[in-house]
Amino acid sequence: MLYDVSNRRIWFKGEILNVNDAKINILAPTSQFGLNVFEGIPCYWNDEEKLLYAFRLDEHYDRLIRSAKLMQFDLKYTKEDFKKALIDVVKANDYNENLSVRQTLFVDGFGSWASEGPVEMFVAPIPRGKTSAEYNKKGLNCCVTSWRRISEESLSPRVKCGANYINSRVGQREALRNGYDTCIFLNEVGKVAEGPGSCFFMVKGDTLITPRLTDSVLESITRDTIICLAQKELGFNFVERTIDRTELYMADEAFLCGSAMEISPIYTIDRYQIGSGNLGELTKRLHKSYLDCVSGKLENRKNWLTAIK
Ligand SMILES: Cc1ncc(COP(=O)(O)O)c(C=O)c1O
């Protein structure tokens, strides 16, 4: 049976519960200090095959394990446990639509920000509604935020830790206050890093360019997917390199990408028009290829998908 959003099922500490019954201690380090690591895992409904596909589960779980390792979590779950919990809870909700599954490891109990455990998990499928192709007809108006992206010298941007998102928040809030849709962060040395919940790509001439992983960016699964599709499926020229701020304003095309926003074109940055101020050709082709890939329509990329039966 299909549950409405407010009554959906959640996997919580080994049980499948109504989301309203999943309660976390207010004094737990996760509640107080954002001491959790998590993944947002996209699942796409393929209407022809009547199947839901989870995208790149292995890579999401590898990153979850790396995040937990860096934060020194006392981890009792294996990759197989992660996978089983996701499949069980998606099936328990009987979904036949696109989802984003939030899979979070959190430090529970009454400890402090230095505690290693107890580490618990929840897995919450969240229906996503439309894809970016449907709701993102208008491009993004971005600013370069005055806040800098967190760096290796303070909080590692490579991992998905809840507390990292306070940096995303200050940039996003500044953008909204000033009338923009979202922002682009520079890193500590003033080079382009990423968006608040997304990676940045631009096109110059016929070349797709993105900052290096050492420029203060998350080890993003979408970034990796786009690099792969651009080079192997579409034959685009691609370079991973440091990007200067002024290059943003002179780009021919630009977009932000991530599991949540998929590929979202940028039409202006700090009110400079990017390219023609419309959807660029390379971005359009990549977007189509990305959506085909995640929904199981690219035969040779089906190894990235896990069918939830
Ligand atoms: C800061 C940041 N960069 C990039 C991304 C995109 O990562 P992924 O493609 O793995 O969703 C996210 C996603 O949450 C993010 O928070």
Residue 208 confidence class, pLDDT cut points 50, 70, 90: very high
For residue 100, the number of C-alpha atoms closer than 13 Å in the C-beta half-sphere is 14
Radius of gyration of the chain (CA): 19
Query: Under the phi-then-psi rule, with left for phi > 0, alpha for psi from -120 to 50, and beta for the rest, what region is 158?
Result: alpha
> From CA 76, how far away is CA 39, in angstroms rounded?
17
pLDDT at 236: 97
* Cα pseudo-dihedral 246, 257, 175, 193, rounded to 10: -50
- pLDDT, tens only, 256-299: 999 999 999 999 999 999 999 999 999 999 999 999 999 899 99
Question: Which numbered atom of ligand 1 lies nearest the CA of 63?
Answer: 10
Distances (CA, A) of 5 to 18, 36, 48, 91: 10, 24, 25, 15
pLDDT at 138: 81
Question: Which numbered atom of ligand 1 lies nearest the CA of 194?
Answer: 3
- Give 157's contacts (C-beta < 8 A, 6+ positions apart): 149, 150, 151, 164, 193, 194, 216, 217, 218
Rounded to the nearest 10 degrees, the angle between the axes of helix 79-93 and helix 57-70 is 120
> From CA 229, how far away is CA 217, in angstroms rounded?
20
Residue 71 confidence class, pLDDT cut points 50, 70, 90: very high
Q: Whose CA is closest to atom 2 on ligand 1?
A: 197
pLDDT at 15: 97
Q: Whose CA is closest to atom 3 on ligand 1?
A: 198
Tokens of 128: 């996503």
Average pLDDT over residues 248-259: 98
Residue 128 confidence class, pLDDT cut points 50, 70, 90: confident
Q: Whose CA is closest to atom 5 on ligand 1?
A: 198
Give the whole-number percent of the chain exceeding pLDDT 70.
Answer: 96
Q: Is the confidence at residue 135, as pLDDT, over 90?
A: no
Q: Give yes or no: 13 in active site.
A: no
Task: Identify the sign of the CA torsion 277, 281, 282, 285.
Answer: positive
pLDDT at 129: 73
Q: Is the peptide bond before 211 cis (omega within 30 degrees of 0)?
A: no
Greatest Cα-to-Cα distance within the chain, rounded to the nearest angstrom: 55
Average pLDDT over residues 100-111: 97
Tokens of 230: 């651009």
Q: Is the confidence at residue 136, as pLDDT, over 80?
A: no
Q: Is the confidence at residue 134, as pLDDT, over 70?
A: no
Exposed e or buried b per residue across 125-143, where buried means at least 16 C-beta atoms within 10 angstroms of its C-beta = bebbeebbeeebeebbbbb
Work out the mean pLDDT of the chain and round it to a whole number: 95
- pLDDT, tens only, 90-104: 999 988 899 999 999
- pLDDT, tens only, 145-156: 999 999 999 999
Q: Is the confidence at residue 303, as pLDDT, over 90?
A: yes
Residue 7 confidence class, pLDDT cut points 50, 70, 90: confident
User: Using a 6 Å CB cutoff, which residues line ligand 1?
Assistant: 40, 168, 194, 197-199, 218, 220-223, 258-259
- pLDDT, tens only, 174-198: 999 999 999 999 999 999 999 999 9
Separation of first and last alpha carbons in the chain = 15
Q: pTM of the entire structure?
A: 0.95
pLDDT at 137: 61
